[in-house]
Structure 1
Amino acid sequence: MTAFIQVMEYETTHPDEVEALMDEWVAATEGKRTATHDMHTRDRDRPGRYVDIIEFPSYEAAMRNSSLPETQHIAAKMRDLCESDVRFLNLDVVRDETLAEKG
C-alpha cells in the first residue's frame, strides 16, 4: 500500500475557530478516521493563509475518511470560516526519505 498525502490550503480570519473545528473533528472521528498524521501550518509570508498536510495509508483510505458524516459536517462549518474555497491537493508519495544528519 502506497502512502498518500492530502494538502488543504485555505485562508481565514478565524484561526482559533478553525482550530476548534479540528479538535471537534478529532474527537468525533475517534476510532473511525483513516488519517494517520496531520500537520497544521501557518504561512509566515501571507498572514491568514494556512496549509494542513494530512497523511493516509492510501488514496482509498483518504476517500473513506472524506466520506465520513463527521468529516462532511466539519467541512461545511469550515467553509463558512474561510475567505474562499479550500484548495485540495491529492498526492501519491513516490519517495519518502528521512534526511537527518548521521552523527
Structure 2
Amino acid sequence: MAFIQIIEGRTSHYDEMKALTEEFEAQDLGGHTLRRSIRTRDRDDPSRFMVIVFFDSYESAMANSNLPETNEFSQKMMSLVDGPPTFHNLDVVEDKTF
C-alpha cells in the first residue's frame, strides 16, 4: 500500500531551508526509497510550509528514514524550523486522477 508523509512546520529561514533541500536532492540518492516530493509554502503565511513525500509503502518510508543521509539532512532541517514540525503519516487507500 502506498504511503504519504506530510511534514508541516514554520520557518523564518525559508531560503536556507530551500537551499539545504536542493543540496540534498543534488546528491546521489541511490539508496533512497523516496518516489516523489512536493514542497509548499503558505501564500497567506510565508513562514508556514508543508512537504509532501511519497513512498511505495510504509516500510520503504521507514527504510528511507533510517538511512544516515536522511538522518543528517533531517537534523540540519530541524535547525532551520521554528518549533517542532508536525508529521502526518498517511496510507493511500484510494488514488484517482481526473
SS at match of 2:77: helix
| Number of equivalences | 98
Deviation at 1:21, TM superposition (A): 1.4
Q: Give the structure 2 partner of residue 13 of structure 1.
A: 12
Deviation at 1:29, TM superposition (A): 4.9
TM-score normalised according to structure 1 size: 0.89
C-alpha distance in structure 1 between counterparts of 2:6 and 2:92, whole Å: 12
Deviation beyond 3 Å, 4+ runs, structure 1: none
Which letter does structure 2 place at the counterpart of 1:72? N
Cα deviation per residue 1:7-38 (whole Å; 9 max; x = unaligned)?
A: 00010011111111112222335211101000
Listed as ranges, the matches of 1:1-103 within 5 Å are: 2-99=1-98
TM-score normalised according to structure 2 size: 0.93
Larger Rg: 1
Query: Percent of counterpart pairs with the same letter?
Result: 47
Does the 8 Å contact 1:29/1:70 carry over to 2? no
Unaligned runs of 5+ in 2: none
Unaligned runs of 5+ in 1: none
